[in-house]
Chains A and B, each alone.
Chain A
């Protein structure tokens, strides 16, 4: 008896982002409000980070709530219904359950069942990791409409007395729907990891905190080393993503890096020698660093404010704790 030859899935040749949506924490948190416990000032924080305010959510809001609002907006923007979504990928580091995943809860809440659903843990690169996965899933025929969300409630993960990273952080969620396209709309994802896990880390594991009765774990970073890595190691990654997509800096309409720190963004723009005509996502000034949510939030804002139009070519790059990174050139919806 001969075994049958298996059928493997195949999908469309090209994909694009069909819709975008975003939501920010409802409360505007000024530098003055958080400067006291870190013995700092509005001027110092602006100078070091470019952040004027950050947006944070109240105690009754969690990552799934933020993700739901962004997801509904993105699905509507794509002209679809939740039932059209057949895979949900949620990138987050601030959903405080090991299981079930935030994505599985979200799929149910949206009315997207029986969509496949899972979370991605890639810190501030979570959104660009997930866009890379969504593109691959659609082109492989594993899904038709993939909902990608970067959602974070970073304010649950901060220490008010920490001078390394906490004062940068904000809450929000950004979402995109990826599906088939007549023309290529998502360039190859250039991604990887770089070791040096200690540069951005959690103060203790949840198990250690529970067993040893230490304080609620929060984030820390070696800011100067992260700055150096982000600028001088990530600019070449962004260049590779452009080359892989077959475009040059002159072809790019918008540069949307992870909103880590305005100083990183400014120095990356310099290293990449982007023409002055390139619009740069600088949502961090008002929203703060929202980790996995920061790129889609910056993208939806550029579009909402009319700084870029539909069809614009955007170079996006996420980088963060791991260290991990991912970049791709995309056509904005």
Chain B
């Protein structure tokens, strides 16, 4: 069963919140992982791995550097589901 864009954003916000301690409502599509949310490369890998498990998708390591914003990650996961 595919997750909707809204469900993916909400799920991703929970994962980011768990990893960083930031409130879930601060994790909005336009936020940059590095510049706005202060997430470093290792935390990003943790978030990516947990998102892979949660949404049953595969996000190659090489793709991670292209995921600049939360919206980029949501869009990638939406696309990877189909």
CB within 8 Å of B: which residues of A? 47-48, 222-225, 227-228, 231-232, 261, 263, 267
Known contacts A225-B45, A228-B48, A231-B49; 11 additional CB pairs below 8 A are: A223-B42, A224-B42, A224-B44, A224-B45, A224-B61, A225-B61, A227-B41, A227-B45, A228-B45, A228-B61, A261-B42
**Are A48 and B46 in contact, CB atoms less than 8 angstroms apart?**
no
A268 CA to B49 CA in the complex, in Å? 13
Residues of A close to B25: CB separation below 8 A: none
Majority secondary structure, B binding face: helix
Would A232 and B49 be within 8 Å (CB), given that A224-B61, A224-B64 are in contact? yes
Instruction: Given A228-B49, A232-B49, verify A48-B61 contact (CB < 8 Å).
Output: no
Interface centre among A224, A227, A231, A232 (most CB of B within 10 A): A224
Q: How far is the CA of A21 from the CA of B39 in the complex (A)?
A: 40
Of the candidates B45, B48, B64, the one having the most CB atoms from chain A within 10 angstroms of its own CB is: B45
**Which chain A residue has the least Cβ–Cβ distance from B50?**
A232
The CA of A223 and the CA of B41, in the complex, are separated in Å by 8
Question: How far, in angstroms, from A228 to B47 measured CA to CA in the complex?
Answer: 10
Residues of B within 8 Å of A47, CB to CB, are 40
B42-82 CB contacts (< 8 Å) to partner A: 42, 44-46, 48-49, 61, 64
For the complex, give the distance between the alpha carbons of A232 and B50 in Å.
10
Q: Collect the chain A residues with CB atoms within 8 Å of residue B61's CB.
A: 222, 224-225, 228
Indicate the member of B41, B61, B64 with the most A CB atoms within 10 Å.
Answer: B61
- Determine if B45 and A48 form an interchain contact, defined as CB atoms under 8 angstroms apart: no
Question: Which residues of the other chain, B, contact A227 by a CB distance below 8 angstroms?
Answer: 41-42, 45
B41 touches A267 (CB 8 A): no
How long is the Cα–Cα vector from A224 to B48 in the complex, in angstroms? Answer: 11
Least distance between A44 CB and chain B CB atoms (Å)? 9
List of B residues within 8 angstroms of A232 by Cβ = 49
Give the complex CA separation of A224 and B67 in angstroms: 14
Instruction: Write the chain B residue with the least CB distance to A222.
Output: B61
Within 8 A of A (CB), among B14-47: 40-42, 44-46
Closest 8 CB pairs of A and B: A224-B41, A225-B61, A228-B45, A224-B45, A227-B42, A263-B42, A227-B45, A232-B49
When distances are taken between beta carbons in the complex, the residues of chain A under 8 Å from B48 are 228
Q: How far is the CA of A41 from the CA of B7 in the complex (A)?
A: 39
List A contacts of B45 (CB < 8 A).
224-225, 227-228
Cα-based distance from A267 to B43 in the complex (angstroms): 10
